[in-house]
Amino acid sequence: MGNMIILQESTSTDSKSGGNPYSRDISELFQSGVILVNKPRGPTSHQLASWARNLLGIKKLGHGGTLDPFATGVLTLLCGRATRLTDIVLAGEKRYVGVMRFSKEVNQDMVITSLSSLVGRSYNVPPKESAVKVRVRSRIFNSIKLLDFDSKSRIAVVEIDCEAGTYIRTLARDLGLMVGSNCELIELHRTKAGTFDSSMACTMQQLTDALHVYREHGDERGLRRIICPIERLLIHLPKIVVKDGAAAALSHGATLARPGIVKASAGTKAGSTVLIETLKGEAVSIAELTVDSDALPEIDSGEIAIPKSVLMSPGTYPQTWTKSN
């Protein structure tokens, strides 16, 4: 991701430990993988996660980013240790396509002007129908576009790029107030969540079929197209690449010290959330950087990052330190 600051040249990694995250066994992906599902209209997000949990036969599976029962589209399912990344999934920006119906005839130009004025930060009051119960909050609309408009049916199709936790029903209500007509959100489809978009999503039937083929015939190709490693979820984060020994220590919850770093993303400020990964590209932990990454070449020792969430199983890499009595 971006330019990397090389701190140690010619550092090697043990071929007998760890491995390419995109070559993990299916059983490993069940315990630390991500599934992108195209949620249908009707079930709640919790119901869909429960169905997937029972289908896969795993104990721990959650979802990131609640969709109301009437809404469809991208829903991220997190398997096993991937549930530790729920906050990162929830914080990702979202894209929706909403179908809105006005109670009376309105002017298209006025709709376009009103939508444009809503771009930026605005107060977002949760509607009564929302599946999430929270108080008034402000959210940022990065872009709001009118994709289609039919004056006879009084229907507008709108694409919204927004901050996580935005209520699109509230946007429809506000639009109605601005153009002098009640406005109802009648359809809502999420097309993007964080780094994932709808082109990568499967249906529950496709997941069921792929799992059947794997269990009955040992063919895992379908499942591999559906379940991806957690690393795919984290490609947007700045990185710190570490030695095998540092990865072993970090997998036990240790802080990251300067000698263990091989390279780091340039321009990352202290306090930023970073992905610590191995030389093979495996996620070790999510951590908070304690110094600016650009200062690392001038630092020889000391604490560089504090772990927030450990993702690697202890023992993936051999311990290279000795325990004191």
> Which residues does the annotation mark as catalytic?
68
Q: Calculate the CA dihedral of residues 295, 311, 89, 192 and round it to 10 degrees.
A: 90
Q: Which H helix or E strand runs over 134?
A: none
Q: Are 261 and 241 in contact (CB under 8 A)?
A: yes
CA distances from 137 to 121, 124, 140, 172, 238 (A): 10, 5, 10, 16, 28
Q: Are 8 and 262 in contact (CB under 8 A)?
A: yes
205-214: list long-range contacts, CB under 8 Å, 24+ apart.
207/35, 207/37, 207/52, 207/55, 208/55, 211/55, 211/56, 214/26
Tokens of 127: 């509607």
Q: Are 275 and 305 in contact (CB under 8 A)?
A: no
Exposure string for 266-287, b = 16+ CB within 10 A, e = fewer: eebeeebbbbbbbbbebbbbbb
